[in-house]
Structure 1
Amino acid sequence: MPKDLPLNSLGFPKPPSETRVVVAMSGGVDSSVVAAQLAEEGYDVVGVTLQLYDHGAALAKKGACCAGQDIHDARRVAEEMGFPHYVLDYENTFREAVIDEFADAYLGGATPVPCIRCNERVKFKDLLETAKDLDADCMATGHYIQRKMGAQGPELHCAADANRDQSYFLFSTTPEQLSYLRFPLGHLASKAETRALAAKYGLPVADKPDSQDICFVPNGNYASVIEKLRPGAADPGEIVDMEGNVLGEHRGVIHYTIGQRRGLGIGGLEDPLYVVKLDPEKRQVVVGPKEALSTRTIPVREINWLGDEPFTSRSEWHLSVKVRSTRPPREAIIRPLSETEAEVELVVPEEGVSPGQACVFYAPEDSRIFGGGWIYKK
C-alpha cells in the first residue's frame, strides 16, 4: 500500500474507490446515513444486515431493529444509493449469545444489559469476521462514539453529543476491534444533523422514529419475555424486610429491579421502602430504606482494558466510572485484582448499583473511555 498518498476520511492512504467498507445496517436512520455518506464519498460500500430473531415470533415488535421492516428499509437504502446489500441469519447465534444469558441473568436476580453483549458477541465478533472475509478494509457502524488516534494507537472517546453518546454500551470493544472499526457519526453535534443528512441523501428512513427498548422485548415488558423463555420463572414468593420479616407477597422475582419503589403492593407503611436485594433461590424480594441502597465498593469482573499501560501496572487507577447508562460518570478509585477483575471504590456512594450492569471507566479530564467490566454479586 503506498505511503505517500494522503489519508482518506476512513484513515487509509488510498482513494475511497479502492477502500472497501462493510457497513452494519440495522435499518434505522443512523446506519443508513453512514452507508449513504460513504457511498457518496466514493467508497466501495457493502451493506450487511443481521436478522437476529424471527420478526413474526411473539418476542418481536413493530419498530424494533434487526427484523422484518428494518431489513426491508436497509435494502431500500442500498438500492437507492447503488451498493450491494446482504442479510445474514444470526438468529441461533443471537439466541445463544444474548437472549439466553439475558433470561438466566434475570432469573439470577441481576439486571442485564443485552445490547452490550450483542455488540460484543455478535456485531463486533461474528459480523466483524464476516467483514474481513469480504476483504473489507474496515467496518463502519452508526453508533454515536468516537475513535481517535492517540500516541499508542486508536482510542475510544465519547460522542460529541452527550445526549446520544453510546460509550456505556461499547466499553467491551477490544483494541483489536477498535483498529478495524469506524464510527462516522460520533463527531456530530446532534441527532438533528443525522436526520438532515438523511434528508439530503433522500433516504426513505429520514423520518423513521428511533428504536426504543431492547429489540426483542415488546414494549419494555421484560417479565413476559422471560416467562416465555423460562416457563415457571414468575413463581410468587415473599416480600421481606432486611431482618427477614414478611411484609407481603410478590408475583415473581423477575418483575422487580434493584432500587424499585413503586408497585411493591405493601402500602400503609410510614416510610417508603425500596427493593434492595433479589434472592431467587429463596424466591424473596428484600426491601429496605433508601439509605440501604447506597453502595461504595463494587466488585467488577470480565474487564476489558483500553488504557495505554497494562491494567495491573498500577495498584490504583483514579478514573471516573458510570454504573448505569443513564447516570453521569462519578469519581472512583479502581484497584486491579487481576487482568480482568477489580474492586471499584466510589468516592461518593451511589444508590441502586445492580449486579448485571456494566461499570464503565472514563478519563476524568477528557472524553476517553478506558474500558470497563461487569458488576457481580460476591
Structure 2
Amino acid sequence: MWRKSYLVLSFGLAITSCRPAAQTEAPAQAEVKAAGVYQNPLKVQFGDPYVLYDAPRQMYYMYGTGGGAKEGFSTYSSRDLVNWKNEGQVFYGNTPGSWDVKNFWAPEVYRVKDKYYMFYSADWRHNPGNEEENFRIGVAVADQPTGPFKNLSDKPIFDPGYPIIDANVYFEPNGKMYLYYSRCAYEHPVESEVADWAKQQGLFKEIEESWVYGVELKPDFSGVIGEPVLLLRPPVKMNDAQAEWESRSVTSKEVNRRWTEGSYTFKHGNTYYMMYSANYFGGKNYAVGYATAQHPLGPYTKAANNPVLQKNTEQGGEVTGTGHNSIATSPDGKQLFCVYHGRTTASGDERVVFIDPMKIQPDGRLVVEGPSTTPKPLPLARK
C-alpha cells in the first residue's frame, strides 16, 4: 500500500524520503567539478536539511530551516545532490486561521499516494500560558514537491502537553507509520550526575533536557494512536560511555541544557537505526550519534562508535556544529549519503549544508565519512 511512498534500498533499508554560502569558491573549483569531484560545504544556507528523492521526476528536493524563507519554508532541487536550484518559498505560515504563528523549523516532506506531505515544527498560536517555547508539529500537503503546501488542519497533529519539535516519520511496509519528535528542553529540568556536577561547580543550578519520543500515526495524519514512548535521552550517569560527548554543552560551560533531537529513523536488514543530534544546536559541539532497535518503538541501544559526526577543528579542520541530518540515497539505492548542516570559518554563524558518504558496515556499524571540506567524487553521475 505504501511502497510507492518511500525509497526502498536494495539492501533492505527503507526510508521516505537563501542566499549563497558566505564563502569564496576556490579558484580551482570549476576544474575539480569538471574532474568529477565536489567539495563541501554546498552553496545552500539551510539548517536541518532534509532530502526527498522524487522518483516520478527523477529529482532530489531539499527542505530546511531558513534558506531565505519568511515565516515558512523554501526548497531546492537537484539531479546530482551537488548543484542545487532555488525553487523559492513553498510554504507560508502565520496565515489567517492557521495554527502556526512563528519559528518555523525542521520541515520533512514525504510522498504518499501521489501527494506530498510536509511535517514541520512551529509555535502554536494557542498559548494561554504565554509560554516562551510553545512548539508543536503540524502537517501541510501539496500536489507537487515544490508546493504550494497548505495545512491539513487548523491545529497541530496532537498536543502531548509540552513543546515538541523535529518531526520525522518512518513508514513500515505493512502500512503502519511512526512519528518521532523531540520534547523541547524548555522547563524540563532533569536529575542526573551531570546536573549534580554542574551545580557543585557553580556553573548551573539545574540542567534541562530534550528527549526523543515515538508514537504511531493515524493513517490520515490527523492524530496519533496510543501514547508516546520515550526512546532516547541523555545519560544519567557520568561513567556512561555516551555521557562525555552528549554533555559537552554543559561541561564546556556553554549552556544549562542537554539535547537529544533531530532524529532520523530507517531500517537496514532487520534492524532499525535512529540517528540523533546532541548538544547545543547553535554551538560548536553539536554532533550526531545513532542507536539501534528491533522495533520502531524500541527499546533503542546507543552505538559504541558514537559520535559518528562531530567538529574536526581539533584535528586541524574548519568545521563545527555538525548536526540534524537526513539521509539521501542514489536512485538505485546502492549509495548512502549523510546530509547535515554545519559551520565553517568562512560561513561564521550561518549554517551551511554538507553531504558526505555514509555506510553500514558488515558488523552493523554506521559510519559517516565526514565532515569533509576536501574534494570528493561526485555523489551521482551527471544526468
Same fold (TM over 0.5): no
Q: Which structure features the higher share of strand residues?
A: 2
What TM-score, normalized to structure 1? Answer: 0.27
State which structure, 1 or 2, has the greater radius of gyration over its C-alpha atoms. Answer: 1
The structure with higher relative contact order (CA 8 Å, sep 6+) is 2
What TM-score, normalized to structure 2? Answer: 0.27
